[in-house]
Amino acid sequence: MNVDRKGPTPRDAMQETGGANNHFDAAAATWDDNPTRVELAKAVAGAMVAAVPLTPQMAVMDFGCGTGLITRELAPKVASVTAADTSVQMLAVLEAKAKASGLNHVRTLLLDDGYLQPSGLSFDAIVSSMVFHHIEDIPALLTRFAQWIQPGGWIAVADLEPEDGTFHKDSAHEVHHGIDPAWFRAEAEAVGFSVKSARTIHTIRRQPEGADWPREYPVFLLAARRMTF
């Protein structure tokens, strides 16, 4: 497959995350009020549970966790969740909601420009939902995931399939118009993952700004296991 190793052609590739952080910080307080977003999170979390054999002994990272819609669904099933994000306000909302729910084994981790540089951290699984289309260098992030995962550990990544650029109202925090699942699968395999499943698991239906009718935006989930050479 002849593709750009940095991923799908970006419409407005971000050199810095400041603009995106400002957007997500401002939206944090009301993020969970959107029923479409909550419905998506439940569908993604359910698909992750079906695709990845989570156990009560597992340490999991939720990369790009936002307010923790996925974190809070998965946390009761595992030993710990490290909820990681670049938005201070998103993490603050998550912390408050996790505490209110008695999820004392959830810890938050502020990411630096979307790329963690961990010291002594490793995980049995990394999950991520609707994050990768915001990442300019997708193969580089997959490489990081391979470094953070224990041999035999899992990743489960959900994201938009390719769309026409109408999904986001504001392109300031968008990099890619979705991701081709076949391309993503090849990139995951190139850094040492064995893909176990890759399929459409949900469809977001929304009316783009200025459009006369709603459109459908499929979301895929890729589940893969790090090979133990």
CATH code: domain of residue 65:
3.40.50.150
Q: Is the pLDDT of residue 14 over 60?
A: no
Edge-to-edge strands of the sheet including 80-85?
106-110, 80-85, 59-63, 123-129, 149-160, 215-226, 193-206
Does residue 76 belong to any structural domain of this protein? yes
* pLDDT given for residue 170 in this prediction: 65
CB under 8 Å, gap of 24 or more: what pairs does 211-216 form? 211/166, 215/166
Q: Which residues constitute the domain of residue 183? A: 18-226
Q: Is the pLDDT of residue 129 over 50?
A: yes
Does residue 11 belong to any structural domain of this protein? no
Predicted confidence band of residue 16 (pLDDT cuts 50, 70, 90): very low
Token pair, residue 25, equals: 């910080």
| Alpha helices for 5-137 (secondary structure H) | 18-27, 35-51, 69-74, 88-100
Q: Is the pLDDT of residue 198 over 80?
A: yes
Those residues whose C-beta lies under 8 Å from the C-beta of residue 210, and which sit 6 or more positions away, are none
Does residue 5 belong to any structural domain of this protein? no
* pLDDT given for residue 169 in this prediction: 73
Per-residue pLDDT tens digits for 214-224: 889 999 999 99
Q: What secondary structure does DSSP assign to 116-170, as a single string? A: ---SS--EEEEEEES-GGG-S-HHHHHHHHHHHEEEEEEEEEEEEPP--S-S-S-
C-alpha of 170 from chain center = 19
CA distance 206 to 222: 23
Q: What's the CA angle centered on 41, arms 40 and 42, to 5 degrees?
A: 90
Does residue 1 belong to any structural domain of this protein? no
Mean pLDDT, to the nearest integer, of 3-24?
Answer: 44
Does residue 77 belong to any structural domain of this protein? yes
136 versus 124: the higher-pLDDT residue is 124
Does residue 180 belong to any structural domain of this protein? yes
Q: Percent of the chain beyond pLDDT 90?
A: 62
Q: Is the pLDDT of residue 108 over 80?
A: yes
* pLDDT given for residue 184 in this prediction: 97
Predicted confidence band of residue 213 (pLDDT cuts 50, 70, 90): confident
What proportions of the chain, in percent to the nearest 5, are helix, strand and coil? 35, 25, 40
User: For the purposes of burial, counting CB atoms within 10 Å of the CB of 57, is it exposed (0-12), middle (13-18) or buried (19 or more)?
Assistant: exposed
Number of domains forming the structure of the chain? 1
Residue 72: φ, ψ to 5°: -70, -25
Does residue 2 belong to any structural domain of this protein? no
Predicted confidence band of residue 20 (pLDDT cuts 50, 70, 90): low
Mean pLDDT, to the nearest integer, of 64-73?
Answer: 94
Mean pLDDT, to the nearest integer, of 115-130?
Answer: 82
Does residue 10 belong to any structural domain of this protein? no
